[in-house]
């Protein structure tokens, strides 16, 4: 059973529609989660203004403590080679971000960007983040099945995943192992990074690797954000994983990937069942075509995972530097107008600018 009622969610995202975005954050708060971390995604296919939007939400919402992990820019219009990543990260932190989000090593983004997180181009930035122990949430890879067409098609949602472009079975994509190795190279350069790997780093079928990582890198952590398939993996090697969770409860964080209004409560149910549910097998609440078991962890482990680790990693959110945020919004607006940016993004940024200026 659940032995704690406090929850902090380390992994949520922005909704681009401001009114719905505010409604979503308030609903999460009403659902009892008073600390939540927005991960901005600034990859070129996403609306480019996610850092600004996330910081705006942070400033706007009074009902809960919102923290924000900002993302680096890769849009050709933002000419990222001319602004070194260390300066970009510094700027995000100065604006009021509490940490940095990396999704660069998800296979399709890795393909677009053309270099890995092990690249020298990131050295100075990671040295700074390590030195200052800035928290990082990092998504690398995807479930192993995404490299294998037959396996992915066995899933009821396989067709949809393929439509999303997440079948990596040709050599334009790096392999699962290659991406993993790039990450290890970065960790060898910066072994003390305060880094949380999203979706348990897709390691639920490879407990040996998870064990080695927590032994070797003292500040490395995982989040429990579904990926439902992760919970199938845990159930396959149940006793070993249960011991891992008890022994490493200070290395695991509650997360849900919430990015909708209304919010999906079944996702919370899934994560909570893993932590505090009974050992009996049930249909996975947010993916009822598959089965999972609960670890029924000790009270201490549950408190760590659900709340205490979040507070130790992020704590009280930093305040937003409104002047810098206004400056950033103005710069982004000018860039979008110069380059015929999407009209709805421009309208959104104008609304944010006016609202911030009137405060």
Shortest Å distance, C-beta 258 to Zn ion = 9
CA distance 85 to 73: 9
- The token pair at 224 is 């429990």
- The token pair at 160 is 């949809």
CA distance 332 to 334: 5
Q: Which is nearer to Zn ion, 57 or 353 (CB)?
A: 57
Q: Which is nearer to Zn ion, 46 or 77 (CB)?
A: 46
Shortest Å distance, C-beta 13 to Zn ion = 6
Shortest Å distance, C-beta 47 to Zn ion = 15
Structural contact between residues 263 and 7, judged by C-beta atoms closer than 8 angstroms: no
CA distance 340 to 359: 29
Q: Which is nearer to Zn ion, 7 or 353 (CB)?
A: 7
Structural contact between residues 55 and 21, judged by C-beta atoms closer than 8 angstroms: no
The residue count of the chain comes to: 359
CA distance 4 to 172: 46
Shortest Å distance, C-beta 257 to Zn ion = 4
Q: Is 165 helix (H, G, I), strand (E, B) or coil?
A: coil
Shortest Å distance, C-beta 198 to Zn ion = 6
Shortest Å distance, C-beta 259 to Zn ion = 7
Q: Who contacts 137 (Cβ-Cβ below 8 Å, separation ≥6)? A: 10, 11, 37, 39, 69, 99, 100, 101, 102, 195, 196, 198, 223
Q: Which is nearer to Zn ion, 233 or 255 (CB)?
A: 255
CA distance 305 to 308: 7
Q: Is 19 helix (H, G, I), strand (E, B) or coil?
A: helix
Shortest Å distance, C-beta 101 to Zn ion = 9
Shortest Å distance, C-beta 123 to Zn ion = 26
- The token pair at 235 is 């159930």
Q: Which is nearer to Zn ion, 10 or 64 (CB)?
A: 10
Name the residues that contact Zn ion, by CB under 5 A.
257
Q: What Å distances lie between residue 219 and 35, 70, 136, 214, CA to CA?
A: 21, 20, 11, 8
């Amino acid at each position: 059973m659940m032995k704690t009622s406090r929850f902090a969610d380390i992994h949520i995202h922005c909704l681009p529609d401001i009114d719905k975005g505010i409604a979503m954050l308030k609903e999460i708060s009403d659902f009892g989660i008073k600390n939540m971390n927005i991960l901005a995604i600034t990859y070129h296919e996403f609306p480019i203004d996610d850092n600004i939007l996330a910081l705006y939400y942070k400033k706007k919402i009074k009902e809960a403590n919102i923290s924000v992990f900002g993302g680096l820019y890769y849009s050709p219009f933002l000419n990222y080679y001319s602004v070194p990543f260390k300066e970009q990260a510094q700027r995000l932190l100065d604006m009021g971000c509490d940490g940095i989000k990396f999704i660069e090593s998800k296979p399709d983004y890795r393909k677009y960007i053309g270099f890995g997180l092990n690249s020298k181009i990131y050295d100075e930035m990671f040295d700074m983040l390590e030195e200052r122990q800035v928290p990082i949430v990092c998504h690398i890879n995807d479930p192993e099945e995404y490299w294998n067409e037959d396996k992915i098609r066995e899933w009821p949602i396989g067709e949809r995943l393929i439509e999303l472009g997440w079948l990596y079975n040709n050599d334009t994509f790096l392999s699962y192992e290659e991406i993993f190795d790039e990450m290890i190279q970065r960790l060898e350069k910066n072994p003390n990074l305060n880094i949380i790997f999203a979706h348990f780093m897709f390691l639920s079928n490879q407990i040996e690797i998870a064990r080695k990582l927590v032994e070797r890198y003292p500040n490395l952590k995982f989040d429990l954000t579904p990926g439902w398939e992760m919970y199938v993996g845990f159930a396959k090697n149940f006793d070993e994983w249960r011991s891992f969770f008890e022994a490493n409860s200070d290395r695991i964080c509650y997360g849900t990937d919430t990015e909708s209004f209304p919010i999906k409560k079944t996702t919370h149910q899934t994560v909570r069942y893993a932590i505090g549910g009974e050992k009996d097998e049930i249909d996975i609440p947010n993916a009822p075509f598959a089965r999972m078991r609960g670890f029924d962890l000790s009270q201490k482990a549950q408190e760590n995972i659900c709340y205490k680790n979040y507070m130790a990693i992020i704590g009280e959110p930093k305040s937003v530097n409104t002047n810098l945020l206004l400056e950033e919004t103005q710069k982004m607006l000018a860039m979008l107008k110069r380059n015929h940016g999407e009209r709805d993004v421009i309208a959104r940024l104008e609304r944010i600018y006016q609202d911030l200026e009137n405060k």
